[in-house]
Amino acid sequence: MYSQMLPISGSKMTSRLAPVSEEPVDEDDVKKCGSRSRKGLSWRNWIRGRFFQGIAGKESDLRILLSVLGCPLFPITPHQKKQSDDEASSSAQYIIQHFTAATGCRKLDGRVKSVFVTGKVTMAMADEDVAGGTGISRRKGCFVMWQMVPEKWLIELVVGEQKVVAGSDGRMAWRHTPWLGTHAAKGGVRPLRRALQGLDPVAIAEVFGASQYMGEKEIEGTDCFILRLSADQNELADRSDGTAEMIKHSVYGYFSQRNGLLVHLEDSFLTRIHSPGTNPTYWETTMSTAIYDYRPIECGVLIAHSGRSSAAISRFGEDLRTGPVITRMEETWSIDDFALDVAGLSVDSFIPPKDVRQEFWDEDQEWKPPLC
């Protein structure tokens, strides 16, 4: 089955594309827009849709699940942050050294060119009326992910009868969904969050190498060190537009004091929505992932083979007289196969779809794939 999951770089789209944010969009919004440009199909149209007015039907649930949990990007790019010399940063460096020693990931650094991963997922909406959430509309699926060091990746995830695809050629990231087509991601190239859930220890070490030590906390019975990363103002501005302003995006990594492994990942971002003639509203998305079952792969490096993620989306503001509206969703995942240095994988496998390339390069300009 996985051999038939090929990149969609040859797919044909009819409209010019613009970057969109990483939030769910209801298919009904697309239909309402007709042949108009899809540049506005982001937070603004989602708010006008039925997402928080009552979700109608399992297909709508599935679209929301795939939009939020399917292929989210990490807020920070490796090597993007500069390491400072303060005490908090020095403590973070010590914790990361413990992590790299525990996973043995330096065996991969500079020696492995590509990675192939397959796995299974189970996604569900959660009941808002029950504390902790009760799973409903539970759907099972699978995913396949290719990665070429350092910043080229491609993932295809199938749940139910829907498939989402996302990729990066090292210069731009993009995503394709059946209800929105293909769009470039706002904010430039960033790692796939799923890869930093214990699957890519080299990237984890690089990203959190510039983090700040925030103290200690017990997570699910495990004493952990806390490391924090935050997107700076320039990064937030790149991911904002005229209607939606990204206010903050922070990431917390919880590393076990006992074995040094990353056991919990949490990130949250806050967006301010202000359309003409309306009061501003605020949307906060929080995603947390418990990471389990570290096992050695063929070269002896430890990677996580299962985990559980949950997401909560809160909407609040002056226009919401009934108070904040919260929707919760959850995902469990497991890894079936993990292979290094995939034969036949090349930079051509990561070429973006044609219409996304045309949005970034003039049609008359020859597009050349990035070098290895």
Which domains are seen in the chain, by residue range?
Answer: 31-360 (2.50.20.10)
pLDDT at 8: 37
Tokens, residue 279: 């009061």
Largest interatomic CA distance in the chain: 59
The residue assigned the tokens 């196969």 is 337
167 strand-pairing partners: 154, 174
Per-residue pLDDT of the chain (372 residues; tens, 9 = 90+): 433 333 333 333 333 333 444 544 444 444 444 433 444 344 334 333 434 343 345 667 788 889 889 999 888 776 555 555 677 778 999 999 999 999 999 988 788 899 999 999 999 987 554 344 445 668 999 999 999 977 899 999 999 889 999 999 988 889 999 888 888 888 778 889 999 999 999 999 999 988 999 999 999 999 999 999 988 888 888 888 878 888 988 999 999 999 999 999 999 989 888 878 788 888 889 999 999 999 999 889 999 999 999 999 888 876 666 666 778 899 999 999 999 998 889 888 998 888 777 665 544 344 444 433
Element counts in the chain: helices (H) and strands (E): 7, 13
Nearest to 194 by CA among 334, 97, 61, 329: 334
pLDDT at 20: 41
Q: Rounded distance, CA 323 to CA 282, Å?
A: 12
245 strand-pairing partners: 272
User: Mind giving me the DSSP string for 256-302?
Assistant: ETTT--EEEEEEEEEEEE--TTS--EEEEEEEEEEEEEEEE-TTS-E
- The pTM of the full predicted model, rounded to 2 decimals, is 0.79
**What length does the chain have?**
372
Nearest to 149 by CA among 193, 119, 111, 187: 111
Task: Give SS3 for 249.
Answer: strand
Burial level of 323, CB count in 10 A (0-12/13-18/19+)?
exposed
In sequence order, which residues have a C-beta less than 8 Å from that of residue 253 and are 6 or more positions away? 204, 208, 211, 226, 227, 228, 229, 262, 264, 265
pLDDT at 153: 95
Tokens, residue 260: 């040094």
230 strand-pairing partners: 250
pLDDT at 84: 56
The residue assigned the tokens 């009868």 is 161
Digit-coded pLDDT (tens) for 70-81: 999 888 776 555
Residue 240 DSSP symbol: -
Helix pair 201-208, 87-103: axis angle to 10 deg: 170
**Cβ atoms of residues 347 and 369 within 8 Å:** yes
